[in-house]
Structure formats: structure tokens, C-alpha cells
Amino acid sequence: SGAVSATGTAASAAGAILIATLAALGAAAALWVDAAASGIFSAVAVAGFAGALLDSVLGATVQGVWWCPTCDESTESKRHHCGAPTRLVRGMGVVDNDLVNAASVAGAGVLGMLLLILFE
């Protein structure tokens, strides 16, 4: 839930570049002009990386993290897999990983669209 490391950040950047490369190649294969392909690459790479960072920041700050006193471990659920109730130790109880993922994807998507307009 929201861990940030040099390795993870590098992997996020590499993933964003890979997806951006595929998007740009797809644009070039569709006979779009090279300028459009480079704009698509830039927008997708920046938006993808920003989405990954947003996911980490939201996960580390607002996502609910719960503690199971029975198993003595943290969890992302109000009720642990052992069946014991848990207590909120960090974040907001209404913000789970699904909401963090949705917000990150939405944020990256909006940023990507804005960047595509800007790079056009």
C-alpha cells in the first residue's frame, strides 16, 4: 500500500516507456504522421509514469490500512482472512485499493488527453 522505492519507480518508468512505445508504433503503423507518433509517445509516457506515482502517493497517504490483532499483521481489509475484525491504523477507512487504482487510472487518463491536445 503505497510503497515507493528506487526499483519500483524505475520499473514504473520502464513500463510507461514500453506502453508509450507500443502506442507510438501503433500510431505510425496506422499511417499517422511521425509528429503524431512522437506526441503520442510523449503523452503516454508522461501520463503513465504520473499515474504510477499517483497510485503510490495515494496508497501511502489516504488508502486505509488495517491491523489484525489476532494475526499481528497489517491488511487492506476491515476483516482479516482469519475472520477477526481489524482496526484502522492509517489512511481513510473508505479508501481501498480499488478506489486508489481507479483514481490513478482516471488521473493518468485525463493527463494523457490534456497532453495529447498540447502536443498536437
Residue 2 has which C-alpha cell?
503505497
Total number of domains constituting the chain: 1
- What DSSP assignment string belongs to 48-94? HHHHHHHHHHHHHHTB-EEEETTTTEEESSSB-TTS-B-EEEESBTT
Q: Give the pLDDT of residue 82.
A: 92
Range of the domain at 48: 6-119
Over the stretch 39-86, which tens digit does the pLDDT of each residue have?
788 888 899 999 999 999 999 999 999 999 999 999 988 889 999 999
Instruction: Give the span between the Cα atoms of 36 and 50, in whole angstroms.
Output: 21
Task: Tell me how crowded residue 103 is: count the other CB atoms within 10 A of its CB.
Answer: 17
Question: Exposed, middle or buried: residue 20 (CB in 10 Å: 0-12, 13-18, 19+)?
Answer: buried
Average pLDDT over residues 4-30: 80
Q: Is residue 1 part of a domain?
A: no
Global pTM? 0.77
